[in-house]
């Protein structure tokens, strides 16, 4: 069993464009609605400051980290800010090695069987199947058949409460959800509604 399985449900809230001003309320709404893994992508201003803030307010059973982490410097910066999960759009052995050396959980992005097997051999805690809306559930199902039973595949891209069950039937073990969950400036009641719907869909599997 991967250590990433300790964080349930296995749903990552991708908070692209989050600002420090809205971070506390957004995080509180997501934690209240059942989410336990929050990711702030680094390719927007203020990401590290948000990670630092979220790390201070997260519950003890929650995990905060960075997304779009493509360099060793990204890993060092997120770790220094309190982030403990590395999420990347690609698989880079040097980035993975540094994250693992710092004790971070790792979720590298892959799009082929070759990348998936290489990421697992390097010690990935789970694999980000990305871009999921292009690769599709059938692609995930095929790749899953050649991976070890312990492998965790998490689709990211186009995932919603409406298609969660289709992905789970294909073998998905967790998910990253971005624009179908959070967008900058979203009203908190709408965010909570989306979050609860996703958690309920996962629990109804």
Kindly give, in sequence order, each residue whose CB lies less than 8 Å from that of residue 182, ignoring residues fewer than 6 positions away.
Answer: 13, 14, 15, 16, 18, 26, 30, 191, 194
Give the whole-angstrom CA distance, residue 165 versus residue 163. 6
Is 39 a catalytic site residue? Answer: yes
Give the whole-angstrom CA distance, residue 54 versus residue 49. 9
SS percent in the chain: helix, strand, coil, step 5: 40, 15, 40
The residue annotated as part of the active site, out of 39, 49, 58, 115, is 39
The residue annotated as part of the active site, out of 128, 144, 166, 190, is 128
Is 144 a catalytic site residue? Answer: no
Give the whole-angstrom CA distance, residue 167 versus residue 140. 8
- CB burial readout 63-83, b (16+ within 10 A) else e: bbbbbbbeebebbebbbebbb
Taken in order 23, 25, 26, 28, the sign of the CA dihedral is positive
Task: Count the Cβ atoms, other than its own, within 10 Å of residue 93.
Answer: 12
Q: What is the DSSP letter of 89?
A: S
Report the catalytic residues.
39, 128
């Amino acid at each position: 069993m991967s250590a990433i399985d300790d964080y349930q449900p296995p749903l990552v809230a991708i908070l692209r464009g989050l600002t420090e001003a809205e971070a506390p309320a957004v995080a509180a709404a997501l934690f209240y609605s059942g989410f336990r893994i929050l990711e702030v992508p680094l390719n927007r201003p203020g990401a590290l400051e948000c990670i630092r803030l979220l790390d201070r307010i997260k519950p003890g059973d929650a995990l905060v980290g960075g997304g779009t982490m493509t360099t060793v410097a990204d890993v060092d910066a997120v770790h220094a800010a309190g982030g403990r999960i590395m999420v990347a759009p690609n698989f880079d052995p040097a980035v993975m090695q540094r994250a693992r050396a710092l004790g971070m959980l790792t979720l590298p992005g892959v799009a082929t069987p070759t990348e998936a097997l290489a990421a697992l051999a390097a010690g990935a805690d789970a694999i980000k199947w990305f871009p999921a809306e292009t690769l599709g559930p059938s692609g995930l199902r095929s790749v899953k058949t050649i991976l070890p039973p312990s492998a965790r595949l998490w689709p990211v891209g186009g995932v919603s409460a409406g298609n969660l069950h289709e992905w789970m039937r294909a073998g998905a073990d967790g998910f990253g959800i971005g624009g179908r969950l959070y967008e900058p400036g979203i009203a908190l009641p709408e965010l909570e509604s989306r979050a609860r719907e996703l958690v309920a869909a996962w629990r109804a599997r």
